[in-house]
């Protein structure tokens, strides 16, 4: 009794300690419950789940990772399964529900083995050997995919999409394959290289999935900074800026004393001259489209619109880098 009291001294008041067979039973129970929650979403005939959070927001999905993320699970075992689904989704993009269901089934079998007196270490070693054997079998029956065989790529995409958006599977599969083939390159050794970062998904509310389309270019969810600027530019020459087209304020506290209207007007004229010089540099470069990572003040907008230059501000750095890669422009 004394030893048990000493062992619990490092625990905060009210903490409950569970160990041994009881801890195993509870952990397995939680794992099975989480797997059971997503099991019915599996397969082409899987059902959607409706999840209502504490704020009343409703989420309807049959994606394992999405469901587990919205379930707000507190138990450590449950959190491990949520992380498993997230990792599966980020690494593979599919199979999140399958991964969780397999874990639930393995835990269920482990419970039977534990009841038969088999030590947990032996069960773990057995599962590890089974995993290696399963990997060998999968590799022996798998076949390499040739990026030139569009039908195979379409079937793979269709398998991943089935159940997620049943009525639009064919169209979304075609869009996915077209997007992948658009960014597929071969290196000097003839190896196929696909950089997923070259594919961007832009979401816009108001239409159905059927209206989704593949744009072979870059789509930015940005508006021109002035309505006086052109809406369409043919043969565009693009300038990418990571500096602000505005007057930068002093970094330290500064006091400017103006004693007369003439001094005020001279101060305003000087600001206007500085902005106009910046715009003139852009104009002389031949650029007629400007994407700026930072701000563009009203005066700069006026001069840009007067020069028939289209400009967008507050463009994300990642989008600016994509524009640089697509157009060959250099960020200045």
Q: In what order do the strands lie in the sheet with 310-312?
A: 238-241, 289-292, 310-312
- What pLDDT, on a 0 to 100 scale, did the predictor assign at position 106? 94
pTM: 0.63
Q: Which residues contact 245 (CB under 8 A, 6 or more apart)?
A: 275, 278, 279, 290, 292, 294, 295, 296, 297, 300, 304, 311, 313
- What pLDDT, on a 0 to 100 scale, did the predictor assign at position 164? 66
Ramachandran bin of 163, using left for φ above 0, alpha for ψ from -120 to 50, beta for the remaining angles: left
CATH of the domain at 97: 1.10.560.10
Q: In this structure, is residue 11 part of a structural domain?
A: no
Which of 91, 119, 141 is at the close of a domain? 141
Do 21 and 135 belong together in one domain?
Answer: yes
Do 197 and 242 belong together in one domain?
Answer: no
Which of 86, 118, 141 is at the close of a domain? 141
Q: In this structure, is residue 55 part of a structural domain?
A: yes
DSSP at 296: B
* Enclosing domain of residue 272: 238-327
Q: In this structure, is residue 8 part of a structural domain?
A: no
Do 189 and 267 belong together in one domain?
Answer: no
Q: In this structure, is residue 226 part of a structural domain?
A: no
Do 47 and 94 belong together in one domain?
Answer: yes
Q: Which residues contact 126 (CB under 8 A, 6 or more apart)?
A: none
Do 164 and 203 belong together in one domain?
Answer: yes
Do 270 and 201 belong together in one domain?
Answer: no
Do 119 and 173 belong together in one domain?
Answer: no
Do 206 and 312 belong together in one domain?
Answer: no
DSSP H or E run through 253: none
Mean pLDDT in runs of 10 for the chain (332 residues)?
52 70 87 88 79 82 80 85 87 85 93 91 94 93 82 85 72 89 83 83 83 87 89 89 79 69 71 84 90 89 90 90 86 86
Q: In this structure, is residue 23 part of a structural domain?
A: yes
DSSP at 166: G
- What pLDDT, on a 0 to 100 scale, did the predictor assign at position 250? 62
Do 204 and 289 belong together in one domain?
Answer: no
Residue that has been written with the tokens 């998904």 in this structure: 201
Q: In this structure, is residue 161 part of a structural domain?
A: yes
Which of 91, 107, 141 is at the close of a domain? 141
Instruction: Give the span between the Cα atoms of 198 and 216, in whole angstroms.
Output: 11
Do 154 and 136 belong together in one domain?
Answer: no
Q: In this structure, is residue 219 part of a structural domain?
A: no
- What pLDDT, on a 0 to 100 scale, did the predictor assign at position 118? 92
Do 28 and 137 belong together in one domain?
Answer: yes
User: How many structural domains are present in the chain?
Assistant: 3
- What pLDDT, on a 0 to 100 scale, did the predictor assign at position 1? 46
CATH of the domain at 300: 3.50.7.10
- What pLDDT, on a 0 to 100 scale, did the predictor assign at position 11? 60
Do 84 and 159 belong together in one domain?
Answer: no
């Amino acid at each position: 009794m004394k030893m048990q009291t000493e062992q619990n001294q490092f625990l905060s008041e009210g903490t409950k300690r569970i160990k041994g067979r009881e801890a195993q039973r509870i952990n397995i129970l939680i794992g099975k419950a989480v797997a059971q929650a997503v099991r019915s979403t599996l397969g082409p005939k899987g059902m959607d789940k409706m999840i209502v959070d504490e704020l009343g927001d409703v989420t309807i999905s049959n994606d394992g990772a999405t469901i587990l993320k919205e379930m707000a699970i507190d138990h450590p075992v449950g959190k491990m399964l949520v992380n498993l689904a997230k990792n599966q989704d980020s690494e593979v993009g599919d199979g999140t529900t399958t991964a969780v269901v397999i874990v639930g089934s393995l835990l269920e079998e482990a419970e039977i083995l534990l009841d038969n007196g088999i030590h947990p270490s032996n069960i773990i070693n057995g599962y590890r050997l089974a995993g290696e054997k399963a990997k060998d079998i999968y590799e022996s029956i798998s076949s390499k995919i040739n990026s030139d065989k569009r039908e195979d790529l379409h079937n793979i995409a269709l398998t991943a999409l089935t159940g997620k958006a049943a009525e639009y599977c064919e169209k979304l599969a075609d869009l996915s394959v077209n997007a992948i083939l658009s960014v597929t390159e071969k290196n000097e050794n003839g190896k196929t290289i696909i950089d997923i970062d070259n594919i961007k998904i832009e979401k816009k509310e108001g239409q159905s999935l059927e209206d989704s389309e593949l744009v072979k270019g870059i789509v930015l969810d940005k508006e021109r900074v002035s309505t006086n600027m052109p809406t369409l530019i043919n043969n565009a020459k693009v300038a990418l800026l990571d500096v602000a087209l505005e007057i930068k304020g002093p970094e330290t506290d500064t006091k400017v004393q103006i004693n007369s209207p003439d001094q005020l007007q001279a101060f305003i004229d000087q600001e206007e001259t500085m902005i106009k010089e910046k715009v003139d540099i852009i104009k002389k470069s031949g650029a007629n489209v400007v994407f700026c990572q930072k701000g563009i003040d009203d005066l700069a907008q006026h001069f840009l619109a007067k020069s028939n230059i289209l400009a967008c501000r507050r463009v994300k750095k990642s989008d600016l880098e994509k524009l640089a890669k697509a157009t060959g422009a250099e960020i200045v």
